[in-house]
Amino acid sequence: MARGLGRVFSGLKRLVTLSVMWSMKHPIYSVSSRTPPVRSMALLPLPCSKIQDFSLPNSTWNSEMLQLYKHYNSLCEVETEGGEKEGQWKKIPGYNRLLKYATGGVYLSKIIQSKARLFTRNINEPGAGFEYVLFVNREEQKCVGIWQCGHLLEGPPGHVHGGAIATMIDTVTGCVASLTGAVMTANLNINYRSPIQLGTTVVIETVVEKIEGRKKFILCKVTSPDGTKLHTDATALFLSIDINKLLLGR
């Protein structure tokens, strides 16, 4: 994280990163007895939490979402009995604000007091807007997003709005770009190859192509769950920022 970010996020000192063992014996879908426990990482405050992680399965997730979620969860970091860590991927918890639960700084406090919500989490009805979960692989500088596009995301009749697709791309490319510090989008160049029907699940794969000073160049593709259909490809450029300056409006 950028140095400035550390000051702003002083409240985050109270937060700890926990490995959350989440039973796959969930009523909404059946899992074979050989399925390993789901492994994910979540930022949770102590001693107890009322923070909702929206990136966990709910009853609106279709079978493709659940399959992909299960697959990447199986690749996630988990501590073995011997104390060693296995798995290169980590699940990113999905809150409805980036900084809602951090404290520190008059500017941040003002924002917290507002009613602002993350654009991708501003629909309360499960399944109606974006349903998604992000996984990152820090070593390989990759991020994968699994998205289910609800009926409130329409652009062309029956299909997902170009802006909604751009929103998903900005989110996943931004996630991988921010692995080494706070960033802001500088450029998105998006090729729309094949329309996405409402209700569809897509996989968004991103990787850091190169880093030049403050510039982080990201590659991105949006495909069908089995990877056979390319819906969209994109490049993204992000700039490292001092988030204090953003909050101060400089």
Query: Interface residues with a copy of itself (CB under 8 A)?
Result: 97-99, 107-108, 111, 114-120, 122-123, 128-129, 151-164, 166-171, 174, 184-192, 195, 197-198, 243, 246-247, 249
Exposure string of 60-90, with b = 16+ CB inside 10 Å and e = fewer, is ebeebbbebbbebbbbbbbeeeeeeeebebb
Please identify, using beta-carbon distances, which residue of 78 and 183 lies nearer to a copy of itself.
183
Smallest distance, a copy of itself to C-beta of residue 65, A: 19
Alpha-carbon dihedral angle through residues 77, 82, 83, 86, given to the nearest 10 degrees: -20
Asked if 170 is an active-site residue, the reply is yes
Q: Residues 156, 138: contact at Cβ < 8 Å? A: no
Q: What are phi and psi of 78, to 5 degrees?
A: -145, 145
Please identify, using beta-carbon distances, which residue of 55 and 171 lies nearer to a copy of itself.
171
User: 């709005």: which residue's tokens?
Assistant: 161
Please identify, using beta-carbon distances, which residue of 63 and 187 lies nearer to a copy of itself.
187
Smallest distance, a copy of itself to C-beta of residue 241, A: 8
Task: Compute the half-sphere exposure of residue 34: CA atoms within 13 Å on the CB side of its CA.
Answer: 0
Smallest distance, a copy of itself to C-beta of residue 133, A: 17
Smallest distance, a copy of itself to C-beta of residue 182, A: 8
How many Cβ atoms are within 10 Å of 243's Cβ, its own excluded?
A: 23
Please identify, using beta-carbon distances, which residue of 38 and 108 lies nearer to a copy of itself.
108
Q: Of 170, 226, 233, 242, which is the active-site residue? A: 170
- Catalytic residues, by residue number, are 170
